[in-house]
Amino acid sequence: MDKLIITGGIPLQGEIRISGAKNAALPILAATLLADGPVKVGNIPHLQDITTTMELLGRMGVELVIDECMDIEVDCSTIRELFAPYELVKSMRASILVLGPMLARFGQAVVSLPGGCAIGSRPVNLHIEGLVKMGAEIDVESGYIHAKARKLKAARLVMDLVTVTGTENLMMAATLAEGTTLIENAAREPEVVDLANCLNAMGAKISGAGSDTIAVEGVDRLNGTHYDVLPDRIESGTYLVAAAITGGHIRIKDTRPRMLETVIDKLREAGAEVVVGDEWIDLDMRGRRPCATNIRTSPYPAFPTDMQAQFTTLNVVAEGAATISETVFENRFMHVHELQRLGADIQLEGNTAFVRGVERLTAAPVMATDLRASASLVLAGLVAEGDTVVDRIYHIDRGYESIEEKLAKLGARIRRVPV
């Protein structure tokens, strides 16, 4: 298990490129199961979760070829097993995204239930209920979802709560269903829109993605295509916070500022000067300490839960006090106890963290518990005095491409050590 060692105190400077979005690449790779012909997916980030998805598809018999541009071509014509095993699903919950496509295209699927998670209970009941409304027969037995359907039928699906992968799974299933499915109270995340765009490029008839009602007119078949994944807004936001807390000045390229409006607003509130172009964001903190800024997470377009941990770190070193409310997941404050080890002043009450900014953090060994929590610890390491050692960074490798290389390019003193 590798560790990261970060020596804090350097204001970040320079320019880096943002990678493709993990949370768009994962459903798009699952969507390739729906196509009759090969699908080429570009701008895929090099991440552990992508490797896990490739392993999952490979075990089903799907052929995957990586070309010289690192695009992945997926050909499902060789599929033999409609099965997602526990050992892969437990290491990556997004594996549940193969359920809708397999069922819609091949009429059956056996997918492990994901089980518990470090950030909340995260059930998949809404994925299952939606598919049942579309005519699937589903039994949950010995930890596995067994799903069957001769042909899925369109339905009006009113989601009890906003779920990103739930919306994606049902949208994918509906592409090959008979009739027009309506998904109401749908997730509006840019990654849902990217998936819909990819499916439409494959011949699907989806409208309304990005709004709270998505209409999917079923078609008989979907074809192969070439599709480039959109940039990662959470990776973008994480580097912007890194610059803000170190008093630095950076530019991130190959991103989409429009997907980051609430995050940019919060950074400006914290005192950052932010200038945006079509595909870049420039953040200048001019050596200043950030001001505290209250955060309340909610589904898109509100402030993303995937940026909550990073803004907790920002508030930990900010001038003033702030309240952070997490409304999407019930247990997403594991980073708080680790940040306290570095000297953070945080009180936790249920889903709310009360943070009083401190002038200095001091390095200590800390442990990553989930992807975004790990990012918040690396950020804290960038400002803490001394060498912060972040353990269990396999969580980080699931979602941040070459984080130590990108931070080093911005001048950070960071190194990976194998243990």
Q: Which residues bind ligand EPU (CB under 6 A)?
A: 23, 26, 93-94, 120-127, 161, 163-166, 191, 305-306, 328-329, 371-372, 399
Give the active site residue among 69, 117, 198, 291.
Answer: 117
Q: Tell me whether residue 26 or residue 209 sits nearer to ligand EPU (CB atom).
A: 26
Q: Tell me whether residue 165 or residue 181 sits nearer to ligand EPU (CB atom).
A: 165
Task: In angstroms, give the least distance from the CB of 57 to ligand EPU.
Answer: 16
Instruction: Give how far the C-alpha of residue 300 lies from the chain's centroid of Cα atoms, to the nearest Å.
Output: 13
Task: In angstroms, give the least distance from the CB of 396 to ligand EPU.
Answer: 11
Task: In angstroms, give the least distance from the CB of 120 to ligand EPU.
Answer: 5
For residue 141, what is the enclosing H or E element? strand 137-141
Report residue 244: phi and psi, to 5°: -65, -40
Task: In angstroms, give the least distance from the CB of 127 to ligand EPU.
Answer: 5
3-state secondary structure of 87: helix
What is the rounded distance in angstroms from the CA atom of residue 15 to the CA atom of residue 411?
10
What is the rounded distance in angstroms from the CA atom of residue 219 to the CA atom of residue 205?
7
Q: Tell me whether residue 196 or residue 272 sits nearer to ligand EPU (CB atom).
A: 196
What contacts 403, CB < 8 A, 6 or more positions away? 4, 375, 378, 396
Beta strands per DSSP E along 8-98: 13-17, 39-42, 63-66, 72-75, 83-84
Tokens representing 26 are 């994962």
Q: Tell me whether residue 306 or residue 401 sits nearer to ligand EPU (CB atom).
A: 306
Secondary structure letter of residue 98 according to DSSP = G
Q: Tell me whether residue 194 or residue 284 sits nearer to ligand EPU (CB atom).
A: 194
What is the rounded distance in angstroms from the CA atom of residue 50 to the CA atom of residue 28?
11
Return the amino acid letter for 255. T
Task: In angstroms, give the least distance from the CB of 364 to ligand EPU.
Answer: 24
User: Is 198 labeled as catalytic in the residue annotation?
Assistant: no
In degrees, rounded to 5, the angle at the alpha carbon of residue 200 between the alpha carbons of residues 195 and 201 is 95
What is the rounded distance in angstroms from the CA atom of residue 338 to the CA atom of residue 364?
9
CA-to-CA dists, residue 69 to 1, 73, 146, angstroms = 29, 11, 38
Q: Tell me whether residue 328 or residue 363 sits nearer to ligand EPU (CB atom).
A: 328
Catalytic machinery residues? 117
